[in-house]
Amino acid sequence: MKEFKFKINGAEYKCAVEEIAGGKTNVTVNGKTYQVETEKATTVAPKPAAPVQQAAPAAHKAAPAPAAAPQPAVAPVAGDGIKVKSPLPGSIIKVLVSEGQAVKKGDTLLTLESMKMENAIMAEQDGTVKQILVSAGQNVMQDDALIVLG
């Protein structure tokens, strides 16, 4: 079982993912369990049966300002490259770069939708896109590798 903790707009979420037989997975979010079907348990994120709802702040009538997009985790890769990892579980909306393309620190590499918010995933350093590991429409989990930079 994998467990994750998220803090989104000040609200904490605890998530546990447990693979069970027959392509089914139990996903527990803040104590509520959903049984979901997966296409491939090791590479495709589970599709929730129902969305997680976040309570609106009672004291504020204006919509809260959007939170800054979390920065992706990066990990060294053999051959002087780094893996840009997903900071949150979600769905890839757009891949904005191509393999072999030179990028600068701060360039947006792709857009990730999580909890109905779009997050720009940016390059942490100058480099060249060695490999794109995801495509638009693909679901990813936290810490999944998205792009390899060299």
**Do 33 and 88 have their domain in common?**
no
Q: Return the pLDDT at 78.
A: 46
What does the block give as tokens for 3? 């467990």
Per-residue pLDDT of the chain (150 residues; tens, 9 = 90+): 778 887 777 778 888 888 777 777 888 888 888 888 776 544 445 555 555 555 555 555 555 555 554 555 544 444 557 899 999 899 999 999 999 999 999 999 999 998 888 999 999 889 999 999 999 999 999 989 999 998
Q: Does the residue 43 lie in any domain?
A: no
The secondary element (H helix, E strand) that includes residue 83 is strand 81-85
Res 7: pLDDT: 75
Considering the domain boundaries, does residue 129 fall inside one? yes
28 and 78 in a common domain: no
User: Which two tokens mark 130?
Assistant: 């060695």
d(CA 145, CA 76): 11
What is the structure's pLDDT at 70?
53
Helices (H) and strands (E) in the chain, counts: 0, 13
Same domain for 78 and 22?
no
Say if residue 46 is exposed, middle or buried (CB neighbours under 10 Å; 0-12, 13-18, 19+).
buried
Q: What is the pLDDT of residue 23?
A: 72
Kindly state whether residues 138 and 79 are assigned to the same domain: yes
User: How confident is the model at residue 134, as a pLDDT?
Assistant: 93
What token pair was written down for 49?
A: 């049966």
Asked if the structure places residue 59 within a domain, the reply is: no
**Number of domain units in the chain:** 2
- Expressed as residue numbers, the domain containing 137 is 74-149
Q: What is the pLDDT of residue 41?
A: 41
Tokens 């360039």 belong to 107
Q: Are 124 and 77 in contact (CB under 8 A)?
A: no
